[in-house]
Structure 1
Amino acid sequence: MILAACGREPGGQVAAVVGDDEITLQEINAEIGSAQIPKGADAKVIQRSALQRIVERRLLADMARDDGLDKQPEFIIRRRQLEDALLLQLLRNKAGRSIRIPSEATLDKYVAAHPARFAERALLKLDQIRFPMPADPTKLRALEADHSIDAVASSLKGLGIAYERVPATLDSSQLPPAVLARIQALPAGEPFIVPAGGIVSVSVVNGRLPAPIVGTAARPIAVQMIRNEELEKSLEQRFKAKKAAVKIEYQPGFEPPKPGKPAMGN
């Protein structure tokens, strides 16, 4: 086995050998990916160019290993993050392939049942304030008494929370129906708050631009929405079963936060 490893040579599915590391045709095709190849372009030239990028990347990565960077905690953590993200993407791709394309009758029924995403779709113009979630989220309870975006800005200044105030647009088709209904039920000028990804957005609707999607143009969008919903439902079921089957223990102070009442709006 040692002699065989030392005598590796390119051939067959192996396009090149860098030291003891093989680079396969499959890796080259993955490097090219979904890039649009110009009409009439020489496929071999494109493959050779992709192979050279891989070779250079491998040599540079070996240089990093020579410096011991692959043993650093930062590398180990980042590698796990990238592996997790890639595996999740592959899991979604695999699950997505099992979802059937809905019939036209199903699509038309879905479009009719979701007017806010199609016939009544609108772009909501927002006056929006954004700021990082404070270390103590209970501070946001002070905003519950604010019934205008100016009042919110004043409260944040009093709390010593830095923010930015910018115009924004919200597509009604991207909102869950229950969330859209709550926003539409608010009195004119009443703020609503949406925390996401460590950022808190407080907004008021100050304009509405109709942007309907009707007829045959709605069907491709409905296909994607239905498939996404079925995919999320399938993954959620598997996730719940997986979570129930695995013992998870937390150090005191690191437990998941308990669901709480939103500070205002939705």
Structure 2
Amino acid sequence: MKHRTLVALLLLATCTACQKKAEGQTVAVVNDEEITASQLNAELANANVPDGADKKAVTNRILQGLIDRRLLAEQARKDGIDRSPDFISRQQKLNEELLIGMLANRSMDTSKLPTDAEIAAFQAKQPQAFANREVWKLDQLQYDTPTDKAVQQRITATKTLEELAGVLTAARIPFQRGNNQLVTSVIPSELYPQLARLGPGEPFIVPAGNKSVASAIATREPNPLTGPNAKTEAVNAMRRQNSTTSLQQRLKELRSAAKIEYKEGFAPPAKK
């Protein structure tokens, strides 16, 4: 009897010692699952907390959100969702995207900083993002992209939004008017000269799925990016560009070295 009592007490003591406690780097324990200070700090860093906010209140709110997330995730596991094919497929995709993103960041962080001459050359090739940066106020029409080639040709031939509206009305294609603005730094370098040469009110059309958006530049407001801010932006853009190029080259090498086997009917078409 004494032996069994001692064993029971020993097991109880062992279980008590194994219980996790909210101390040290552990800020909370949810059903024996720890939430660490580093996890909480990572959530805070991604929360975009405004200056002047009550840090203690924000921290508590973020922590409560973490606890809620843990509880719901635990319930999902109890329901077997983590063993479903759909979850496993999505989890694999998310893991791969996270790994690739971190690989790209590592490549960018370890890349050599460009020289002043390289930075100046980069800025000169993209004037719309630096010295000649502008903010364009746009008048817009949004409409369902027509499949009739004759209508498409008439749309392409229009020189103003009003002409375009007339073509759409004649073709019984409904449209919506709107306004927007565009900072020229987001325009690809190869497209910018074409858009910059457009006449007053002349539309340019951007397809978006089964919709199209026609825009005409109403006003152009100079908004140059120069000095130290321009240099910082150029360096960041160059490092992102170099990282992308490096990853693409690495991918070519990986494909060349990889053994890839396709099921019949799934192989890409042979290169001509």
For the superposition of Structure 1 and Structure 2, which TM-score range results when normalised by the shorter chain?
Answer: 0.5 to 0.7
Give the corresponding residue for 1:221: 233
CA gap 1:226/1:132 in 2 versus in 1, 3 angstroms: farther
> Which of 151, 155, 169 is matched with 2:181 structurally?
169
> Which of 20, 32, 47 is matched with 1:9 structurally?
20
CA gap 1:203/1:47 in 2 versus in 1, 3 angstroms: closer
The unaligned stretches of length 5 or more in structure 1 are 257-266
Q: CA deviation at 1:21?
A: 3.2
8 Å Cα contact 2:137/2:180 also seen in 1 = yes
TM-score by length of 1: 0.68
Q: Which amino acid aligns with 2:224?
A: P
Matches within 5 A, 1:37-186: 50-67=62-79, 70=82, 79=91, 82-131=94-143, 141-142=152-153, 143-157=155-169, 161-186=173-198
CA gap 1:164/1:77 in 2 versus in 1, 3 angstroms: farther
Q: CA deviation at 1:88?
A: 4.1
Give the corresponding residue for 2:244: 232
Structure 1 residues 200-258: Cα deviation after superposition (integer angstroms, max 9, x where no partner): 32222232222222334422222222222222322333445556755678989xx99xx
Structure 1 CA distance, aligned partners of 2:254 and 2:197? 38
CA RMSD, aligned part only? 4.2
Q: Please state if 1:208 is matched with 2:225.
A: no
Structure 2 CA distance, aligned partners of 1:216 and 1:38? 24
Structure 2 CA distance, aligned partners of 1:132 and 1:76? 37
Q: CA deviation at 1:180?
A: 0.8
Larger Rg: 2
Describe the SS at the equivalent of 1:178. coil
Structure 2 CA distance, aligned partners of 1:72 and 1:154? 53
Structure 1 residues 59-110: Cα deviation after superposition (integer angstroms, max 9, x where no partner): 1322344455556677566545644543443233222212233233432333
> Number of residues paired by the alignment?
248
Q: CA deviation at 1:179?
A: 0.2
TM-score by length of 2: 0.67
